[in-house]
Amino acid sequence: MTRTGAPRYSRRMYLMVLLALIGSGLGAGQAVGFALSTDRAFDLHSCLTDHGLRLTDVAGRASTDTLSQYHACVAGYNRAQIGYLLGGAVIVPALALLLAVGSGLWLRARLRRIPAPSIDPGALTTSFERWCDEAELVGRRRPRLQVVPAGRGFTGTRTTAVPFSRPVVVLPAGYLLPGSEPAATLALAHELGHVRSRDLVLAAATSWAGWLNLPVLIVALIPGAFGPTPLLPAYVWSIILAITLSATVFALRASVLRRRESQADRYALQQPAVQQAGGEHLLRAAAGQRQPPPQPGWQRLFRTHPDPGERVDIAARAEPPWQDGFTFAWITSLLATFTFQAFFVVTISLGGFTWWRPNAGTDFTLALAGPAVFWAAVLVPAWAASDRPMLGGRVVGERSPARWPVLFGSAVGLTLGIYIPAPSGTVSLGSELPSPPVSMFWLVLAGLGISVIAGGFADAARGWTGRRSHWVAVLAAVTASAAALITGWNVAWNALVLHWLNGSEAFDRAFLIGQGAIGWWRWTLPLILAIAVGLSGSLGDLRKLWRPIVGAAVVGAGVALVLTQMRIGTTQTGDEVWLLLTQRWWICALAGWVVLVSTLLTAPAGTRGLPAFCRGLVAGTATAVLAGLAQFARDLLAGESVDNLRNLVGFVRGPGWLLGVLVVVTVPAVLAVRDFAGPADPDRRWVPGTARLSAAVVVVTLPVALTLTGPLTGVRADQSTLQRLAAARLPQPAKPRPAVTQTQPTPQATEQSTGPALDPDRQLRAAQADAILRRSLTRLPHDWRPLEAPKIGPSTSHPATEVRPAACDDLLKRLSAADTARPRSADRVWSAKLHHDGLPLGTTILDVTLTSYRSAAVATETLADSAAQPAKCSKWSTYNATATDHRMNFTLETEPAQRVDGQSWQAVLRAEGRFKLPMNIIAVLYFRVIGRNVVVVSVTQARRQEIDLKQLRLLRDDVMTATVAGLK
């Protein structure tokens, strides 16, 4: 055996397996902590309520006086949670290691008890040792051959290993039969291929990573099984996702192992001893010997070996290493952002430790840092070792497109990773964003831009062929790519969240501009630029670009200067000055962008010279900075630079940052145009002869069009927008309590002002009822969130079981039957929930139900029936399976009716039960009939009682008013 064709050794796989195990452990730890800390959570909320605090009142949002009280309240809970999380993160990988070692030891012990075969292996052992020598397997890597006699349960050749000891190759004695030497040679060469590529520990690790998912899954289900009842619906999706994830892990593990088997086959076929014995014919004959038992189609997903009939073809095919393929990219990216979620859970659990947690954004960055480095450290070296450049380009004599499947795989993985809840989480981070398709589109776009940057740096590292210099270049590329991901994901996430909160595109643009001057990531661009310059290796390449750089910089600076002279006299306020300033930044950035794009389209890529992306980035940034410096010089000469240093930094950093934004957003599109609309002839330059003018038109048209239509002109002179921008630069204020202030319109006030112009004869369809209810929920404060299905849908009331006393039982059954029998055209319920802070206790839900009956008389009868209940049955109890005594007690009290134009009644419903902890639920109800329609609004609050009764009523009344207004 020789080193020829040795399969690649993949350390990255071990890293991925380890991170997957840690992520599973964190999830399991959180699940256990979640389920076992209900007592602590109850104490925590009681403590906070006693001090007039809420869980979200963390540092920066609460006064200094209350911080110590806050810390005292949360310390116990946090300590416990951290313990559970860290415990899970340590125990699960440790358990995997123990099981991997234990299973190896178990197999070794089994082998040790097996006697020697009656046939002497003789010459085969000698040959095996020689092949090991030739393959340079020495020390602990040198395998030992054990021939196992027939009938001992070892029907096939296999290799087993225990960490830090020699592998053992087990060969059935059947291979010692006369005429079996060639087959033995092939089987042993295959196993040596596994040993050389260190697949043994990997196989054990992936095996246990897959199997451990099952107990972790069970642990993750604990909160769903034993937690408070309100959590159960939220866990349904978690369970489905966890099961899907487990199956996916097994399928991926099988896929990895199938590839390793093919690589071992390939290695075996390249060995001289195998080739002499028959080579491919030998493998084909061995495949023909085996008659695999029939399997259902879905089981093929979980097979660890390729189909016997296909093994020869697969092994003979020059299969590209999978580390730079689509699957590897998306798995790595998904794992990175999934792990980020797990880390984010840890950081937000450390809410009380404010000395290292200056604001909420720090949590995000801290949680993202490790996974981003992992993402870059796994993908960039693989891409740098790839046969083709990631961003393609014109290599000598051949036009190579960018590797779009890989880049898209990375972008999609980064996005999906935050949409999969951590094993114990009830919601994913992604689900916090509204409109999933739209949010996912923007995240994929950002992910694609970030992946393109990483691909560009990987291409730059490819150009460094020296052993040491290559790894220095790869390290630099990894650093730049990780910084790009942390920055890009932070900004993209914040932009989406703030767009959701503000709903203003002008604000989005202003936010993007402002990000270049705040946060630690304002230093990202200088870092990336320095790395790009460093990877160029020679300033000679860069010097060749001085003409476009200076040319574009002169044009950009000139345009900006003209604009400044035209507008400088018209600026009155500080906001207008700032607006003008940002427009000057944009113009400088656009000058740099033009140079970047022209470099990408015209420069050769890949193996010759500095890769186009890094060269374009350096040239573009140099252009933008030069143009910015010209602006600074203008202000300096005009005497308008008050703070010279700050002004200088601003004119360098501002255009540079905006160029970075343009890179992420536009460079994938530019590359796509190059690949799909460029000249087919590889020897033609992208911009030859007459096409130069049209390319110039394209390059100029885009910035002009964007400038004229608004997206690149910063903010408009809109005072409120500017104020919101200023607010975004400051620490976030504490979220207001979900209370309706007295300044909000009360039902009476609204109706007096608008008049009761209702249509009593209006009968609604379901869609109309949905539209009214949807609008009515928009009246809620911002930390209330409308629930998705299934809480939005037909109103269904489940009759309680085992109602006591019997009089109440009869009454409730009669009322329920009577209501069911009443004909109606629409019966819809919509709900909203107070923002959930992640703790198991406390749920506040608002339900609004709209039922449209056939006639006003029926509607009035319905209301009268319900209003009669308190007089006939004000106290009752029902069966509850999870309560300690299996009973839940209810009390219904009528409130003084506030009669307006229609008939109405209001009530307070209290429910008490004894569960693991006392359960106290209070609901304020409002029934009202409007013509043929009955509206019922209820606000239900469990346990925490964080909103007082008066505020609950105000919320309820406000939604009722909005619903009634919608019925006009």
Site residues, another protein (CB under 8 A): 100, 103-104, 106-107, 113-114, 117-119, 149-153, 155-161, 170, 172-174, 177-178, 183, 187, 190-191, 194, 199-200, 203-205, 207-208, 257, 260-261, 264, 283, 286-287, 289-293, 304-305, 308, 311
CA atoms within 13 A on the CB side of 684: 12
Cβ closest to another protein, residue 96 vs residue 773: 96
Tell me how far apart the alpha carbons of residues 953 and 32 are, in angstroms, rounded to a whole number: 37
Cβ closest to another protein, residue 158 vs residue 762: 158
Cβ closest to another protein, residue 113 vs residue 547: 113
> Tokens representing 561?
């200067």
> What minimum distance in Å lies between the beta carbon of 252 and another protein?
16
Cβ closest to another protein, residue 162 vs residue 491: 162
Cβ closest to another protein, residue 162 vs residue 597: 162
Residue given tokens 């500080």 in the structure block: 574
Amino acid 349 reads S
- Give how far Cα 598 sits from Cα of 463, 565, 707, Å: 21, 29, 19
Q: Kindly state the greatest CA–CA separation across the chain.
A: 105
Could you write out the DSSP letters of every residue in 60-106? TTS-HHHHHHHHHHHHHHHHHHHHHHHHHHHHHHHHHHHHHHHHHHH
Tell me how far apart the alpha carbons of residues 862 and 827 are, in angstroms, rounded to a whole number: 13
Tell me how far apart the alpha carbons of residues 896 and 903 are, in angstroms, rounded to a whole number: 13
Cβ closest to another protein, residue 163 vs residue 436: 163
> What minimum distance in Å lies between the beta carbon of 18 and another protein?
16
> What minimum distance in Å lies between the beta carbon of 157 and another protein?
4
Cβ closest to another protein, residue 63 vs residue 291: 291
Phi, psi (rounded to 5 degrees) for 244: -60, -40
Phi, psi (rounded to 5 degrees) for 267: -60, -45
- Give how far Cα 322 sits from Cα of 327, 331, 379, 401, 432, Å: 8, 12, 11, 19, 34
Which residue, among 56, 277, 100, 310, has the nearest Cα to 201 in the 3D structure? Answer: 100
Which letter, b or e, does each residue of 865-881 get, where b requires 16 or more Cβ atoms within 10 Å of its Cβ? ebbebbeebeebbbebe
Cβ closest to another protein, residue 104 vs residue 842: 104
Classify residue 276 as exposed, middle or buried by CB count within 10 Å of its CB (0-12, 13-18, 19+): exposed
> Tokens representing 381?
């070296």
* Cis peptide preceding 805, ω within 30 of 0: yes
Q: What sign results for the dihedral spanned by CA atoms 507, 511, 512, 516? A: positive
> What minimum distance in Å lies between the beta carbon of 455 and another protein?
33
Cβ-contact 96, 203 below 8 angstroms: no
Cβ closest to another protein, residue 157 vs residue 631: 157
Cβ closest to another protein, residue 90 vs residue 177: 177
> What minimum distance in Å lies between the beta carbon of 332 and another protein?
23
Antiparallel, parallel or unpaired: β 824-834 and 918-930 = unpaired
Cβ closest to another protein, residue 83 vs residue 156: 156
Cβ-contact 818, 869 below 8 angstroms: no
Cβ-contact 273, 185 below 8 angstroms: yes
> What minimum distance in Å lies between the beta carbon of 186 and another protein?
8
> What minimum distance in Å lies between the beta carbon of 218 and another protein?
20
Helix (H, G, I), strand (E, B) or coil at 152: coil
Task: Look up residue 231 and give its DSSP letter.
Answer: G
Cβ closest to another protein, residue 258 vs residue 692: 258
> What minimum distance in Å lies between the beta carbon of 268 and another protein?
9
Cβ closest to another protein, residue 287 vs residue 669: 287
> What minimum distance in Å lies between the beta carbon of 190 and another protein?
5
Cβ closest to another protein, residue 192 vs residue 477: 192
- Give how far Cα 338 sits from Cα of 32, 375, 837, Å: 19, 11, 20
> What minimum distance in Å lies between the beta carbon of 888 and another protein?
46
> What minimum distance in Å lies between the beta carbon of 55 and another protein?
44
> Tokens representing 917?
């902890």
> Tokens representing 635?
């202000």
> What minimum distance in Å lies between the beta carbon of 216 and another protein?
18
> What minimum distance in Å lies between the beta carbon of 607 and another protein?
37
> What minimum distance in Å lies between the beta carbon of 300 and another protein?
13
> What minimum distance in Å lies between the beta carbon of 251 and another protein?
17
Cβ closest to another protein, residue 107 vs residue 366: 107
> What minimum distance in Å lies between the beta carbon of 11 and another protein?
18
Cβ closest to another protein, residue 157 vs residue 323: 157
Which residue, among 211, 327, 312, has the nearest Cα to 266 in the 3D structure? Answer: 312
With helix as H, strand as E and coil as C, how does 945-966 read? CCCCHHHHHHHHHHHHHHHHHH
Long-range CB contacts for residues 569-577, cutoff 8 Å, separation at least 24 = 575/717, 575/719, 575/722, 576/717
Cβ-contact 211, 151 below 8 angstroms: no
Which residue, among 103, 51, 108, 55, has the nearest Cα to 77 in the 3D structure? Answer: 55
